[in-house]
Structure 1
């Protein structure tokens, strides 16, 4: 959990920008962390923008931003976020950070978290922070990243990675997911969900969810699997068969499975398992129901089955997840 709270100053988030920064990535960090408040309405984070050298910073749009803080802002940062720069990232060589960016990184406190958005992962890798670690970046940049940093375990199929102190995210939108994940990790689901509602974005997408890589657009169909999905979501507590879902849409199992994959990118069974996990997560975060009841309501049948599926999907037990992510009682 974050150290901010009653009697403590807000946790400082420093956004380290460079020429060519993407304005959306810069703005989303301020919007999300800046919108996190305590139950009494006090800001939980202080967000500042800094650069290796203060002054005018070019964006990848037709305007510049004036950055008042230089690298000294990093001295007291609890979290440092590095957005992408399309002017710089993929043109890098595997020979470390150039000055003055190297000097800026040297000022980051050893205990501070460091997170990247999109191709900002190139900077973290050049700084040696990702060597031997799992990371992600935008799928279009994955090949170049692997060429430059073969000692990084790149997973270009996920939205974000959390290595504890070092975190990476894929594209611009997954930067939103990563920021909400950090808020959730610091202050629990209630605070993160409030920020998401205010920003009108989904409160949680799992880091292991696939990036939205280009796929051929399916031909329009006269039927849809939407009604079946809605019915399944309303009946997660019971056994749901493929035959039932197909019958709801008046399709054969084969046709339904094909249409379902076209519309969701996954099979009915995989989709249903994911929805059960997500429902269990919400119950663990937002209710005091015993694990056995959570298992039943989410359709897993038993606590043992829930633990097995939960650990396979998230790497933690339901009890550990509740302890980490549930907000204050």
Structure 2
């Protein structure tokens, strides 16, 4: 029997409560998926949070030596230096092959450990400039929800940590598993890493999900031709206004977003059905099996058949 994937949440002084809770919920063994999650601090004991309470952690940094994935939640104030022992423990874990992820201001700990050098990364939009100034060797992307650089991942603030953790589940176990966990948490199952953070703006335009209904409408019609004109008409906007608003809300063009939705729907069908690759391509609006293979290779780095062999029956 394969052992569970061990996730260790490193709780540092001033930890942000939501950031600590997100990985604890997503990777909790009660989800039914093969994760175990635990928390540690610089040392065992009580770690003060950013607020009026603290976290009781049973272990110190030695726990990182056993982790398959280490998650560093955000801590306040942003950019406060972390102890040398934390930097060393993170570097040791990464060298050993553990996956390292951060939520919000936790990116600063990864940066101080040198784990983001030469990579793209993100953090909460209000600290992105500070991260870039302190660590010019990092390509800071302030307008995205999360960045996946393989063995090192970073997310924007607060709820973006949920998007990152669900993305990790999709990588590990497939779309079906991530969707089931998302349903249990009553959250959207997928927001791409490229979706924009809601940054403050000088205009009075709303940051609300004004196109959410149109996106839901599109998701029920992926097997049909979807055009900018048709999407704009559903949203009751001019095509030009629709394109601008869509980019503001999702960080991508409508056609890029639809392509990703089609590939993700194909992933679910490959995981949960015995439909042929050609039939899956038809059902998600990609036409032919060769077209589906092309986009799978480009977006996921594997063929549909390889993906099915890896994830079929796991959800």
TM-score by length of structure 1 reads: 0.79
Based on CA coordinates, which of the two structures has the bigger radius of gyration? 1
Residue of structure 1 aligned with 2:37, choices 16, 36, 47: 47
2:98 aligned with 1:112, yes or no? yes
2:73 aligned with 1:90, yes or no? no
Q: 3-state SS of the aligned residue for 2:278?
A: helix
Compared CA separation, residues 324 and 261, structure 1 to 2 (3 A): farther
Query: Contact (CA 8 Å) 1:72, 1:107: kept in 2 or not?
Result: no
Give 5+ residue unaligned stretches, structure 1: 1-5
Once residues 61 and 114 of structure 2 are traced to their aligned partners in structure 1, the CA distance between those partners, rounded to angstroms, is 19
> Quick check: 154-163 or 303-312, which moved more?
303-312
2:193 aligned with 1:199, yes or no? no
Instruction: Tell me which residue corresponds to 2:63.
Output: 73
Instruction: Tell me which residue corresponds to 1:30.
Output: 24
Q: CA RMSD in A?
A: 3.2
Query: Contact (CA 8 Å) 1:36, 1:195: kept in 2 or not?
Result: no
Pairwise CA distance, 1:282: 3.1
Once residues 83 and 208 of structure 1 are traced to their aligned partners in structure 2, the CA distance between those partners, rounded to angstroms, is 20
Query: Contact (CA 8 Å) 1:285, 1:326: kept in 2 or not?
Result: yes
1:179-220 Cα shifts (integer Å, max 9, x gaps): 222223233333332222111122232223332333545379
1:306-325 Cα shifts (integer Å, max 9, x gaps): 34445555555544544555
Pairwise CA distance, 1:61: 1.3
Give 5+ residue unaligned stretches, structure 2: none
Compared CA separation, residues 272 and 111, structure 1 to 2 (3 A): closer
Query: Contact (CA 8 Å) 1:36, 1:45: kept in 2 or not?
Result: no
Instruction: Tell me which residue corresponds to 1:218.
Output: 205
TM-score by length of structure 2 reads: 0.82
> Quick check: 165-174 or 154-163, which moved more?
154-163
Instruction: Tell me which residue corresponds to 1:11.
Output: 5
Once residues 248 and 123 of structure 1 are traced to their aligned partners in structure 2, the CA distance between those partners, rounded to angstroms, is 45
Query: What is the number of equivalent residue pairs in this alignment?
Result: 308
Query: Contact (CA 8 Å) 1:191, 1:327: kept in 2 or not?
Result: no
Once residues 171 and 244 of structure 1 are traced to their aligned partners in structure 2, the CA distance between those partners, rounded to angstroms, is 34
> Quick check: 18-27 or 78-87, which moved more?
78-87
> Quick check: 54-63 or 205-214, which moved more?
205-214
Once residues 273 and 150 of structure 1 are traced to their aligned partners in structure 2, the CA distance between those partners, rounded to angstroms, is 34
